[in-house]
Structure 1
Amino acid sequence: MKSILFEQTGHPATVLTAKEVALPEPGPNEVRINVIAAPINPSDIMFVQNLYGIRPQLPSGVGFEGMGVIDAVGEGVEMPTGTRVSFTGTGTWSDYAIAHQRSLIPVPDAISDEVAAQLFVNPFTAYAMVQDSGVTEGGWLMITAAGSAFGKMVIQLCMMRGIKTIGTVRRDDLNNELKALGLTEVINTEIEDLAARVRQITDGAGVPCVLDAVGGTTTTEAIKCLSKGGVLIIYGLLSLQDPSINVGLLIFKELTIKGFWLTDWMRRADSKTRQDVAQNVISLLASGKIQLPVEASYSLDQIVDAVDHADRPGRWGKILIKP
């Protein structure tokens, strides 16, 4: 079988290679999955560069989520072979992958392979973060990098809940699409003053919560957009730059800045909460109410082209690996 591996950390296009490896065997409570599709997420790219919360044990596989069909099961697994599943693990960019049975989500026929491959990371993160934001119907939620796959998911969830959204972009080519998804207001941070525009949009009140994936100057400016008692939730650092924090704003506006990592959220959440999120996400995707577009698919042998494409600005959909 073939699998994408890296023996040293660095730029993915430089260090990732497709190699022939032995077919893995599932251990107790594990399954082997014949992988059909797996997405390229920012967390995957950061992992290869040794910038993620989980450090690679070299040589390492890559890819944290995917979908496929159970091919073999280990002792203690009740789910039968032939079951179509979405799953998480390390090394999903491969012909076959090993996953713990707790990470498996059976996929209904109504969900396509392309959507099922993206079922976990962005949908679960978006659903959990909108919940954690505390913003209710009629309130404002701001999202940086609104044109990302995650941003689009949040926009659609908020529209369904009656939450008004402000999204930041660096170019205007996706504005019409974002508006069509339900984005209330869009701000181009390259040509507009973010804090001034937010004050204008919210009649001077600011927003109670910002979901930020950018860092750097975008986060610095986003903090100024918060209302008194507001919360900034950071879930990424696309700029690879730390923000500058205005301590005076934190003190006198009683602001909160906190991080969000889905891995820890899943550990903290009880089984009922996890099941509720899974059922809601699956229902929304199966009904077509939430869209997860795919821009292009690549084989394992095309991994360099795939990661290069995933890094291009202005993408409108996810890049998938299809072994």
Structure 2
Amino acid sequence: MSRVIRFHRHGGPEVLLIEEAELPLPGRGEIRIQVKALGLNRAEALLRKGSYIETPGLPSGLGLEAAGVVESMGAGVDGFSLGDAVSIIPPQSMVRWPAYGELATFPADLLVKHPSSLGWVDAAALWMPYLTAYGALIDIAGLRPGEFVAITAASSSVGLAAIQIANHVGARPIAITRTSAKRQALLAQGAGDVLAAEEEDLEARLKAIAGPQGVRVMFDAIGGPLFVPLTAAMARGGMLIEYGGLSNEPTPFPLFTVLSKSLTLRGYLVHEITGDPARLEAAKGFILDGVQKGALRPVIARTFAFDEIVEAHRFLESNLQLGKVVVTL
């Protein structure tokens, strides 16, 4: 028997329950790990609420990120041994491969032997934010040294990963956050400039920073009315990569701005990278190289114990954090 976290109805953090469950042995090509830490993501809160891109049957497990020790292996697994320290590439489906548990099973090709310089907490916080940011900025946009990139939701784990990646390749990150409360913290994390979307004229400030050429790459998790000032400050031929939808308001399509500047507005999910073996290998190489050089390092907002999963989800949705929320076992 193993303790797992599940929900039997959709709702707030209080619907998360810790239960005893009998887990099957790993099948062919699968590895079961003894979990040491879990990285929390807003996707899990959306699944819990019933508003995620997956629709689970109930009761359902959840979770996309974990780090731990190889506990058992199915047939056909090569390259791993019992006791190996591993971290998890986020699976295509957290309903099929839930991470929230003392034991969790994943396809072997989603496991990475992470650098020994990473402890359990950092390892559990690595792959979702850095794969998401890498896929957008490097794989898709081809971010170049010296150019500006504007990053919304900059205090999130993905936003901070994007700031680090931009700096790592010599680009110039502009962090966009709701208010100025996190300005100094974001500057300390490597943002070249910090803009408060609710307190400043975003279009004017972006144009003042980037100059008349505008910003070629926008990396946005919010949508909604923010599309108008973001696209207005973009360079001709620029690209806005949308990977979220945090705004509760409708997202306008800025038709004449898009036409006049020949802009690309592109939806993006990290599954583009994780579902393509060649692109995933390139991403892993880039991220692990950055980790080993000290350029990429997860920012941990706060850790919680496994028994505090409800409190951890409440904090996840508070918007008070800077970086990743991690649960330890």
**Interval of TM-score (by shorter of Structure 1 and Structure 2):** over 0.9
Post-superposition Cα deviations, 1:15-58, rounded to whole Å, max 9, x if no partner, equal: 21111111331111111110000111112212222332233232
2:296 aligned residue (290, 293, 296)? 290
Distance in 1 of aligned mates of 2:149 and 2:132:
15
Q: Which aligned runs of 4 or more in structure 1 are off by greater than 6 angstroms?
A: none
Counterpart of 1:54 in structure 2: which amino acid?
Answer: E
Q: Which residue of 2 aligns with 1:259?
A: 267
Change beyond 3 A, Cα 1:73–1:5: same
Q: Distance in 2 between matches of 1:317 and 1:277?
A: 21
Question: In 1, are the aligned partners of 2:227 and 2:254 still within 8 Å (CA)?
Answer: no
Alignment partner for residue 109 of structure 1, among 101, 109, 116? Answer: 116
How far did residue 257 of structure 1 move?
0.8
**For 1:127, what is the secondary structure of its paired residue?**
helix
Secondary structure at 1:63's aligned position in 2?
coil
TM-score normalized with structure 1 length? 0.94
1:92 aligns with 2:99: yes
Which AA in structure 2 matches 1:300?
A: F
Q: CA separation in 2, counterparts of 1:84 and 1:69?
A: 5
Q: Contact 2:39/2:65 (CA < 8 Å) preserved in 1?
A: yes
Distance 1:74 1:270, change over 3 A: closer
Query: What is the aligned-residue identity percentage?
Result: 28
The C-alpha deviation readout for 1:220-276, integer Å capped at 9, x for no partner, is 321222121111100011224331112111212211111110113322x343x3223
Distance across 1 between alignment mates of 2:323 and 2:68: 20
The answer to whether the Cα contact below 8 Å between 2:179 and 2:199 also exists between their aligned partners in 1 is: no
Task: Report the TM-score, using the length of structure 2 for normalisation.
Answer: 0.92
Shift of 1:185: 1.5
**Partner residue of 1:137?**
145
1:321 to 305, 317, 327: 327
CA distance in 1, matches of 2:220, 2:128: 16
Q: Which residue of 2 aligns with 1:74?
A: 74
**Deviation of residue 94 (structure 1)?**
0.6
- Between the aligned partners of 1:109 and 1:182, the Cα distance in structure 2 is 25
| Equivalent residue in structure 2 for 1:308, among 309, 314, 321 | 314
What displacement does 1:134 show?
2.7
2:57 pairs with 1:57: yes
RMSD: 1.6
For 2:153 and 2:65, how far apart are their aligned partners in 1?
A: 22
CA shift for structure 1 position 139? 1.0
Q: Aligned residue pairs: how many?
A: 320
How far apart in 2 are the matches of 1:104 and 1:77?
A: 11
Summarize deviations over 1:290-318 as a string: whole Å, max 9, x none. 22122322223211111011112231232
Following the alignment from structure 2 to structure 1, what is the Cα–Cα distance between the partners of residues 266 and 323?
A: 28
What SS does the corresponding residue of 1:175 show, helix, strand or coil? helix
> Partner of 1:8 in structure 2?
9
